[in-house]
Amino acid sequence: MRTAFLGALFDAAANDPRICLVVGDLGYSVVERFAAAYPRQFVNAGVAEQDMTGLAAGMALSGKIVFTYSIANFPTLRALEQVRNDVCYHRANVKIVAVGGGLAYGNLGPSHHATEDLAIMRSLPEMTVIAPGDPIEAKLATLAVIEHDGPCYLRLGKAGEPAVHTTDPEFQIGRAITLREGSDVTMISTGAMLPTAVAAADLLSAGGLSVHLLSMHTVRPLDVEAVTAAATRSRYVVTIEEHSIAGGLGGAVAEAMSELPAERAQLNRIGLSPTFNRLVGDQSYLRSLHGLDVDSIVRTIEALVSQRPRPGGAGIP
Amino acid sequence: MRSHVLRMTSSSRSAHVGSSLSAADLVAVLYGSVLRVDPNRPDWAGRDRLIISKGHAAAVTYAALAEAGFFSVDELAGYGRNGGKLFGHVTTGMPGIELSTGSLGHGLPVGVGMALAARRDEEPWRVFVIMSDGECDEGSNWEANLFAGHHHLDNLVAIVDYNKIQSLSFVEETLSLEPLADKWRAFGWDVVEVDGHNIPALMAILGEVPSVVGRPTAVIAHTIKGKGVSFMEGKVAWHYRSPDAEELERALAEVAAT
């Protein structure tokens, strides 16, 4: 996703001198090409995220389209008040990009796990929150946020995620992309969980379940229409995210569904328990601890539809 | 301007009268003779930018903008009133306000970004940021200081309203800033110290920035909190207190006499 983002940004910056990339001293071996090609559109703000975000707002208020770029929580939580007051309050045209959403930086530990970012960013007025599901969505999301006038948060995985889409889908901020059509269960995935969600959906379908699958790349504004349709059509709605189950995609979907008439689908949120990981692990290992691997998701949904107790993942110590 | 500030803070029962009075001469000189701005075109792209990073000096900022012709002086009566647009901290929405502030330590980083944008676009406009002394406690300023010095942003001017008093106590008793000029110098800025109530001196200094080509300019303005009202000057209490009717009359008489 990082490669797709930087590729799309590089191409767009050639045609639009307003586009600037401001990095927080991160992006070794991947941002140099941009810096060399567009020195007037590149800034390394140093290890200083508050200043990075404030100065990005200042540049945006002077006519630029500014991308801030760092990893995990550094461009969001570290500079949260700058994001709120300088960027959102002024509706400044700043696009905050975090690489390493969720548990992508696995064994670097919880300081590098972005696991509450979607919840926090989606609570800020004026902020659009996007977590693309694969490199193709990452490219399309990059182009979409350039066109969108106002603050955006773009949560990316790292590099090397498989492509789910074989061609460019129609990508619109705030509109879910349908990947599978079915009626028993609607799975709603956001961010880098998409390939896992697709694999789980296909296993469940092979087992005889009729599964609908949405890529909810935009967490805010949420595609309430798609959620309403899912809650009306299906018996079960399952959200899947590499993020705390508190306040992220699952929270947003729960809020939307809670205002629907009582005859609606049952909701199940699959995500990270709101705890800190106390064990070392790579992304795949940590996902499995939280029940975010293909097998755990399949078992969770099978148990849901048969109303057995939820097995969950290997278990959080 | 000082009488506007006294009436605004008294009628709205709001805080920070001392903070507005200490900055009054700085703001007056900037709008009166330094800034290249046009009240009839407040969004003119080529204007100088003034950020009031000490956003609690809102009363004096609105008063200065009104006196400079950005909007009617009559609007000042709406300061802090329900349903109005003149917040108790500097807030965009009134012509001439560049940045909404109130949380300290935000103005300088944003100003750095504006100055960088002007530099990259080879635009001649400049950025001025008025900060408080207590605000210098915020680490974000020192991130911005590093950046501005490193990038030689000589189109950026930071003015510290050094009135020696912060919220609960004196600066010297809270977190001493001394040697303040040396700190800014060490970050790559040229530093000028001035009596922040000496109008001709302020006009001379602010009229000729950058003081050194290739460096951002820090103007450390030595001021008196509550300046102009004898019973407010140098008193911690007037960070939060607002003048009652009797105090207002006495204060207005003193201001009118000077």
Domain-located, residue A184 = yes
Q: Which residues of A sit within 8 Å Cβ distance of B?
A: 40-41, 43, 45-46, 48, 50-51, 53-64, 81-82, 85-86, 89-90
A83 and A206 belong to one structural domain: no
HEC secondary structure over chain A: CHHHHHHHHHHHHHHCCCEEEEECCCCCCCCHHHHHHCHHHEEECCCCHHHHHHHHHHHHCCCCEEEEEEECCCCCCCCHHHHHHHHHCCCCCEEEEEECEECCCHHHCHHHCECCHHHHHHCCCCCEEECCCCHHHHHHHHHHHHHCCCCEEEECCCCCCCCCCCCCCCCCCCCCEEEECCCCEEEEECHHHHHHHHHHHHHHHHCCCCEEEEECCEEECCCHHHHHHHHHHCCEEEEEEEEECCCCHHHHHHHHHHCCCCCCCEEEEEEECCCCCCCCCCHHHHHHHCCCCHHHHHHHHHHHHCCCCCCCCCCCC
Choosing among B122, B143, B152, B155, which should be mutated to test the A contact, i.e. which has the most A CBs within 10 A? Answer: B143
Domain-located, residue A136 = yes
A121 and A212 belong to one structural domain: no
Q: Which residues of B sit within 8 Å Cβ distance of A?
A: 45, 92, 98-103, 105-106, 108-118, 120-121, 139-140, 143-144, 146-147
A120 and A181 belong to one structural domain: no
Q: Please report, in tens digits, the pLDDT of each residue of chain B (258 residues total).
A: 999 999 999 999 999 999 999 999 999 999 999 999 999 999 999 999 999 999 999 999 999 999 999 999 999 999 999 999 999 999 999 999 999 999 999 999 999 999 999 999 999 999 999 999 999 999 999 999 999 999 999 999 999 999 999 999 999 999 999 999 999 999 999 999 999 999 999 999 999 999 899 999 999 999 999 999 999 999 999 989 999 999 999 999 999 998
CATH of the domain at A187: 3.40.50.920
Query: Does the beta-carbon distance from B143 to A48 stay under 8 Å?
Result: yes
Which residues of chain A carry a pLDDT beneath 50? 317
Residue type, A311: P
CATH of the domain at A49: 3.40.50.970
Helix (H, G, I), strand (E, B) or coil at B158: strand
A231 and A93 belong to one structural domain: no
A85 and A192 belong to one structural domain: no
CA pair distance A188, A212, nearest whole angstrom: 8
Backbone angles phi, psi at B189, to 5 degrees: -100, 155
Please check whether residue B8 is in contact with residue B79, taking contact to mean a CB–CB distance below 8 angstroms.
Answer: yes
Query: Is B238 exposed, middle or buried (CB count within 10 Å of its CB: 0-12, 13-18, 19+)?
Result: buried
Q: Which pLDDT score, from 0 to 100, does residue A307 have?
A: 80
Q: Which pLDDT score, from 0 to 100, does residue A311 have?
A: 55
Residues in chain A with CB shorter than 8 Å from the CB of B103 are 81, 85
A114 and A187 belong to one structural domain: no
Residues in chain B with CB shorter than 8 Å from the CB of A82 are 106, 109, 140
A43 and A90 belong to one structural domain: yes
A51 and A189 belong to one structural domain: no
Q: Which pLDDT score, from 0 to 100, does residue A13 have?
A: 98
Residue at which a domain ends, from A155, A189, A215: A155
**Largest pairwise CA distance in chain B:** 53
Backbone angles phi, psi at B19, to 5 degrees: -70, -35
A189 and A78 belong to one structural domain: no
Residue type, A171: F
A10 and A83 belong to one structural domain: yes
Choosing among A51, A83, A87, A126, which should be mutated to test the B contact, i.e. which has the most B CBs within 10 A? Answer: A51
Q: Total domain count for chain A?
A: 2
Cis peptide before A221 (omega within 30 of 0): yes
Q: Which pLDDT score, from 0 to 100, does residue A82 have?
A: 98
Domain ranges of chain B: 2-257
Domain that holds residue A244: 177-305
How far from chain centre, in Å, is Cα A108? 20
Query: Does the beta-carbon distance from B99 to A61 stay under 8 Å?
Result: yes
Fold type of domain B2-257: Rossmann fold (3.40.50)
Please check whether residue A27 is in contact with residue A68, taking contact to mean a CB–CB distance below 8 angstroms.
Answer: no
A6 and A151 belong to one structural domain: yes
Q: Which pLDDT score, from 0 to 100, does residue A212 have?
A: 98
Tokens of B69: 């012709």
Q: What is the pLDDT of residues A282-316, one digit of tens each?
A: 999 999 999 999 999 999 999 999 985 555 555 55
CA pair distance A4, A20, nearest whole angstrom: 17
Residue type, B135: E
A237 and A121 belong to one structural domain: no
Domain-located, residue A162 = no
